[in-house]
Amino acid sequence: MSTAAPPRHARRMRALDWLRATLVFGALYDFVYAALMVLAPDLPERLLHFYLGVMAVFLIMLGSLYLFAARDPRRYVGVIVVATLGRLAGATVFVVAALRNPDLWGLYVLAGGDLLIALSHALFFRPALR
């Protein structure tokens, strides 16, 4: 008697492994791009010329993840944790940029929004998921 998984199950498991690999690759790709944006901002700007367009796509992706997490917070706990920490980091980046360039005072408004959202996530996270 063979103990091998049925062919359909084996194909599904192989596809799941490949999906995981593509998700990890996507994450690494995004991390490298983010690092370039922070450490060598002239390079992506020269190559792309459309920061706002790229940022809009990222915000649409983030907003979509928020909707998944809002629908089933227990299932998407990781998204909530990353969103909370990301909002705190975003608030920090906005404040640092505004301090460096006082003409960008509007960044304080964005920092306040990110901070408010992060704190609201943190406030309701534990009680909601107990």
Task: Please give the DSSP secondary-structure letter assigned to residue 74.
Answer: T
In this predicted structure, what is the pLDDT of residue 5? 63
| Residue 121 neighbours by CB distance under 10 Å | 20
Per-residue pLDDT of the chain (130 residues), as tens digits, is 556 667 888 888 888 888 778 777 777 888 888 888 788 878 767 776 767 777 888 888 989 999 999 999 889 999 999 999 999 999 999 999 999 999 999 999 999 999 999 999 988 888 777 7
Angle at 126 between CA 124 and CA 130, to 5 degrees: 120
Residue 106: the pLDDT is 93
Q: How far apart are CA 85 and CA 63, in angstroms?
A: 15
Q: What pLDDT shows up at residue 25?
A: 76
**Contact, 91 vs 53, CB < 8 A?**
no
pTM tops 0.85: no
DSSP for 10-65 reads HHHHHHHHHHHHHHHHHHHHHHHHHHHHHH-THHHHHHHS-HHHHHHHHHHHHHHH
